[in-house]
């Protein structure tokens, strides 16, 4: 059963399947979730989360901890709020292939 986190979106929330996420980093004010799924030699798939407010390194660290907890509770759906701005909503998510961090 998938482990999900929820990100505020409009009047509701959007889900992100975080099964396989092993690392979260801040990059260009976004959160980047690295998945243990190979995209090409030396690369893995990653999801970049663009929020309405800047994501800080501390925010990314908090998200990584939340994901680790969610992964230990299959079927869960945990709402993630940016610690630096709890009103922030998700603007977009995008998949890309990135070098293994």
Contacting positions for other proteins (CB under 8 A):
1-2, 4, 9-17, 35, 37-40, 45, 47, 75, 77, 92-93, 95, 97
- Provide the β-strand partners of residue 82: 85
Burial grade of 48 (CB within 10 A; 0-12, 13-18, 19 or more): middle
Give me the least distance between CB of 96 and other proteins, in Å please. 8
Complex with other proteins: residue 18 or 82, whichever CB lies closer: 18
Report in angstroms how near the CB of residue 84 gets to other proteins at its nearest.
Answer: 22
CB of 16 to other proteins, least distance (A): 5
CB atoms within 10 A of CB 86: 9
Strand order in the sheet with 90-99: 21-27, 30-40, 43-51, 90-99
Identity of the residue, 10 or 86, whose beta carbon is nearer to other proteins in the bound complex: 10
């Amino acid at each position: 059963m998938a482990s999900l986190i929820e990100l505020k979106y409009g009047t509701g929330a959007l889900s992100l399947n975080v099964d396989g996420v092993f690392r979260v980093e801040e990059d260009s004010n976004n959160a980047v979730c690295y998945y243990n799924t190979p995209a090409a030699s030396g690369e893995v798939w990653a999801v970049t989360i663009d929020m309405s407010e800047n994501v800080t390194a501390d925010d990314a660290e908090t998200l990584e901890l939340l994901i680790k907890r969610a992964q230990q509770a299959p079927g869960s759906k945990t709402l993630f709020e940016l610690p630096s701005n709890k009103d922030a909503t998700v603007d977009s998510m995008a998949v890309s292939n990135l070098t293994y961090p």
